[in-house]
Amino acid sequence: MDRWSGVLKIQLSPNTSTFYRVAASLALSSSSKNLAVPSGNAIFFNGDRVEGTRNPVIERLSNPQRIAEILVSKFGGSINAFVVEASVFNGPFAVYKDFVPSINEYGEPQSFDATGFPASTSLVLLLSKFLEEARTLILGKQKEPYQAEASTSFSCKPKTAVLGFSKGGTVLNQLITEFSLSEVQSTEIPSQANKNVANGGPATKDDWIIPTSKERLFNSIVEIHYVDVGLNTKGAYLTDKEVIDRFSECLSRSASSIRFLFHGTPRQWCDERRIWIRKEKDALVRLLKRAAQKNMGKLLLRERLYFPGKNPDLQMHFEIIEVMDVN
């Protein structure tokens, strides 16, 4: 399967001067070079900027286009990969203000509140705008009208894996909070009218490529990856029992299951100066394990420490992107 790769600056609203830098690797039809229907979408939220290290590993794995390529190599050549960088940086600090409205000037969350569904709404809009601009670039190389082509291998709408790296994990916390209050598609077979309501309206051709509503986004999520998440203050992991209980109850009504995967290194999980990172991670894992016992195997989780026994350093923090096991 051929691919289109690129990095675009996406403006969520014409009333703002900020742009999200999004790198992507999109599946194309080998015959027509149109966008193909992917088997899934892997969406990666990046963290703070690290510059001037003169470390070739860190420099390479700080490149969002390279991260997109790694995601394709891990999740499969038939997926679409998106790497999202925050629209605002306060020095090196990523500030995902549209996704997590409570964050301070350093991008650190004060709380996670589902009111207005900011993360899911922003993500759906960001993906839609990216696809629109990417389509224009693809069309510029073609004479035929644009048409998304379905593969005979994929008869269902693509599933979604969301990954939060370092501070990008705060977006995962917000998405989980919003999921816990969402209307997911029931395991029962609904009428066509109810399907449209549950999925956010009648389907469009873009629905076969990306989720185009927050309802479709939540119904498509099958994996949530915390990738060496950590902050200089509390809030790296979600530890609200009520939110996890609601999430579990919501998932029990869902038509699919969700896997949580925790990928960590000694730099975050063994940092004696920031002991809250490990405590928060352990607390979330405990909450999820308890929830998993109640919902008939629909909630699965796995955690793994990479580079065990090695002294913590910045390189391993980035290197985990390349070595993490997503299976």
Q: For 91-101, how does the pLDDT look when each residue is reduced to its tens digit (9 = 90+)?
A: 999 999 999 99
Mean pLDDT (whole number) for 116-134: 97
Q: Which tokens belong to 325?
A: 């096991």
CA torsion sign for 232, 283, 82, 253 is negative
Cβ-contact 298, 254 below 8 angstroms: yes
Give me the pLDDT at residue 104, please: 96
CATH at 166:
3.40.50
Identify the DSSP state of 272.
G
Give me the pLDDT at residue 40, please: 97
Cβ-contact 170, 100 below 8 angstroms: yes
Write down the residue that tokens 């193909």 correspond to. Answer: 36
Higher pLDDT, 189 or 253: 253
CA-based nearest residue to 251, from 275, 221, 280, 226: 221
Query: Confidence class of residue 142 from pLDDT cuts 50, 70 and 90?
Result: low
State the Cα torsion 201-206-208-209 to the nearest 10°. -130
Mean pLDDT (whole number) for 68-77: 97
Residue 168's domain comprises: 2-323
User: What's the chain's average pLDDT?
Assistant: 90
| DSSP structure string for 166-227 | GGGHHHHHHHHHHHTTS-PPBSS---HHHHHHHTTSS--GGGGTS--SHHHHHHHEEEEEEE
Q: How far is CA 92 from the centre of its chain?
A: 21
Give me the pLDDT at residue 200, please: 53
Mean pLDDT (whole number) for 230-238: 96
Mean pLDDT (whole number) for 145-172: 77
Overall number of domains in the chain: 1
pLDDT at residue 147 above 90? no
How far apart, in whole angstroms, are the C-alpha atoms of residue 185 and residue 251? 9
Q: What is the pTM of this model?
A: 0.92
Cβ-contact 42, 82 below 8 angstroms: yes
How far apart, in whole angstroms, are the C-alpha atoms of residue 169 and residue 229? 6
Mean pLDDT (whole number) for 12-36: 89
**Residues ≥6 apart with Cβ < 8 Å to 211:** 41, 124, 127, 157, 160, 217, 219, 220
